[in-house]
Amino acid sequence: MSILVDENTRVAVQGITGRDGSFHTRQMVEYGTKVVAGVTPGKGGQKFDCLPIYNTLIEAVEGEGVNTSIIYVRPPFAGDAIYEAIDSGVGLVICITEGIPALEMAKISAYLKGSDVRLLGPNCPGVITPGITKVGIMPGHIHQPGHVGVVSRSGTLTYEIVHQLTTANIGQSTCLGIGGDPIIGTGFIDALEAFEADPETHAVVMIGEIGGSDEEKAAEFVKNKMKKPVVGFIAGRTAPPGKRMGHAGAIISGGLGGAEEKVKALNNSGIPVADRSVDVVNMIQTAIN
Amino acid sequence: MNLHEYQAKQIFNQNEIPIPREKIAQTAQGASNIAEEFATKVVVKAQVHTGGRGKAGGIKLANNPDEAFEHANEIIGMSINDLTVRTVLVAEAVNISHESYVGIILDRQTRQPVVMVSPAGGVDIEEVARETPEKIYKVGVDPLLGLQPYQARALAYKLYSESSVVNQVSGILLKLYNLFILNDMSLVEINPLVTDLDGQVWALDGKVNIDDNALFRHSEIESLRDPASEEPTEAEAREADLSFVKLDGDIGCIVNGAGLAMATMDLVKFYGGLPANFLDIGGSSNPDKVVAAMKIITADKKVKAILFNIFGGITRCDDVANGIVTALDRIGVSNEGAPTLPIVIRLTGTNEEVGREILKSVGLVAVDTMAEAVQMAVSLGGGAK
């Protein structure tokens, strides 16, 4: 078991012939992910390596039984690709693209209301269930199958922490990045809820950062709804207010979104927060035992 | 990206949101000439990207051209929150009867635009939100539907009761919402929105923030960027497509990934050092980016040590190592005659062995862990503060 993706995941890549799309398609196939189709308008009928390319995602869903889409489409066209995915009949849409305007995402969020489709991202590394399937851009080899769920707003910081877990022989059930943008699809609470319901997950690492108040809301959720132990890490303790720290969503504005408040909120909900990323390992070990 | 007040108000004016007559000047004489032309009392206002201009003495009323000269002379060149004033706005003074606040933000929590109004205008709205939140009225807008006239009207009635004023204010809110959407704003504020003695409504100030992610579809707004108002190294970093924020410390940080970059800065602080910057070179291992990053870091004379923290995933360690070698070769790392800056490199992940060999060939050694690298950089940079 795992969350979001497993051995039944059948992936179509939107933007398969682009630079990032083609590179990561090969990486995913190499990892063992069931990538079954690609979509590039105008290239329908051609092949990418051995994979059939379709002009539209709906055709790929009908032709290949696709249930998950991953999007590597440039920002000006990524919003359109997300709408296409939502309407195509897949259950999970993962958008890797960084740089989509926030108002575009607000419209997409409104469009998703009442729908069963789950959106992960944008501006995220995707999701991996180690040893089974990787639908994203994370390096597969640093992961190891196991029982710790990892959810994060970041990319390389997550790899750093996952790498340390694996080095300490602590495997992961599923690791997902929810994205560094201010408006995203799946949030911390959605992921925590899924981990709580997943019998294979015994503990969760939650990696947050400055900006917004999703960590605070997630802390409330952990306190009220979760039995499994959660360990936290918050990046950006030294970030100055009013400056965007790389991620569009990583900004302290109007006196809100600072790291200190987040650490306090997590602690108040009984979530230990690591001062250094390396301390996450010990904390998870303590939590599991 | 922030717009200056005068730029925001030009956009208001083009979209029929009433603003007083106004012009900008870079000199005291220019300001005096504008006052002469308007032949009214004027307000001289510093144009800098910061709040608290009034308190800092950056906004002054002038009764005549001579006073306008005097005020502009004081304001131009003054420093407000470390930003030097280069431009003043000279605006016709309005006889204010009543002040209020209107604004629109993109709310992260509800994932939709929120229109806000408050009868407590003319003061810092964040202060109002903290101290008297009941004085702020909000309406969330379905972005697929847009702001409806009834919503704008209901908000306007929270501010005024007289029909003619309510109509003007609700009309302004609807126009403001359209502007917000059309220009991909993440924030727009009119504070204060005022009525004059004749019941006419004016936007006396304007604050606009544009979503950086949307600038690709707004070349007209990109052209409003004022490079002189930015930290010069931050402007240079933007040109090189690097995410960079200058800080006050002395450990220069070059990292791949925003989250890891923040965690690296935090760890520098944890071990008693102070980070000089946030810098994310992104997923690319293009040597040009590494060169640009090192140039920007070494331009800061306070920097005493450079710390690379690279977690190779998709980014290959050998590519980054090559980038570092190329960068050293092209620019060298000496601080204007000072001894060469110490460089600490943490390199882990894809092709790390090859990367290490490349570094070794030029006498650089890579360390394994982030904690090790940070401690080493702090100690080489002069030790814990």
CATH code, domain carrying A206: 3.40.50.261
Residue B139 sits at φ, ψ, to 5 deg, of: -135, 125
Rounded mean pLDDT of chain B? Answer: 91
Collect all residues of chain B within an 8 Å Cβ-Cβ radius of residue A240.
Answer: 245, 247
Residues of the domain holding A99 = 1-123
Predicted complex ipTM: 0.94
pLDDT band with cut points at 50, 70 and 90 for residue B210: very high
CA–CA distance, A42 with B74 (Å, rounded to integer):
63
Q: Are B258 and A255 within 8 A, CB to CB?
A: no
A131 within a domain of the structure (yes/no): no
Where exactly are the structural domains of chain B? 1-20+95-230, 21-93, 231-380
Q: Are residues A85 and A153 in the same domain?
A: no
Collect all residues of chain B within an 8 Å Cβ-Cβ radius of residue A139.
Answer: 312-314, 349-350
**Contact with chain A for residue B265, Cβ under 8 A:** yes
Q: Are B349 and A142 within 8 A, CB to CB?
A: yes
Active site residue A247: yes
CATH top class, domain B231-380: alpha beta
Domain boundary, last residue among A94, A123, A152:
A123
Collect all residues of chain B within an 8 Å Cβ-Cβ radius of residue A233.
Answer: 263
Up-side HSE of residue B259: CA atoms within 13 Å toward CB? 27
Q: How many CB atoms lie within 10 A of CB B209?
A: 18
Q: Are A247 and B126 within 8 A, CB to CB?
A: no
Contact A240, B247 (CB under 8 A): yes
Q: Are residues A71 and A169 in the same domain?
A: no
Q: Model confidence over A110-162: pLDDT tens digits?
A: 999 989 999 999 999 999 999 999 999 999 999 999 999 999 999 999 999 99
**CA angle (B104, B109, B111) in 5-degree steps:** 65
Residue A8 reports pLDDT greater than 70: yes
A132 within a domain of the structure (yes/no): no
Say which CATH superfamily domain B21-93 falls into.
Answer: ATP-grasp fold, A domain (3.30.1490.20)
List the CATH number of the domain containing A85. 3.40.50.720
A129 within a domain of the structure (yes/no): no
Q: Do domains B21-93 and B231-380 have the same CATH topology?
A: no
Residue A231 sits at φ, ψ, to 5 deg, of: -120, 140
Q: How many CB atoms lie within 10 A of CB B316?
A: 18
Report, at the CATH architecture level, how domain B1-20+95-230 is classified: 2-Layer Sandwich (3.30)
Collect all residues of chain B within an 8 Å Cβ-Cβ radius of residue A181.
Answer: 213
Q: Are B258 and A154 within 8 A, CB to CB?
A: yes
Q: Are residues A11 and A53 in the same domain?
A: yes
Q: Are residues A143 and A276 in the same domain?
A: yes
From A63's Cα to the closest Cα of chain B, the distance in A is: 31
pLDDT band with cut points at 50, 70 and 90 for residue B285: low
Q: Are B258 and A180 within 8 A, CB to CB?
A: yes
Chain B interface mutation, best of A156, A186, A260, highest count of B Cβ atoms under 10 Å:
A156
Q: Model confidence over A62-88: pLDDT tens digits?
A: 999 999 999 999 999 999 999 999 999
A130 within a domain of the structure (yes/no): no
Region at B204 (left for phi over 0; alpha for psi -120 to 50; beta for the rest): alpha
Q: Are residues A107 and A178 in the same domain?
A: no
Looking at residue A92, its pLDDT comes to 98
Structural domain total, chain A: 2
Looking at residue B333, its pLDDT comes to 55
Sorted by sequence, the CB contacts under 8 Å of residue A289 that are 6+ apart come out as none
Q: How many CB atoms lie within 10 A of CB A242?
A: 14
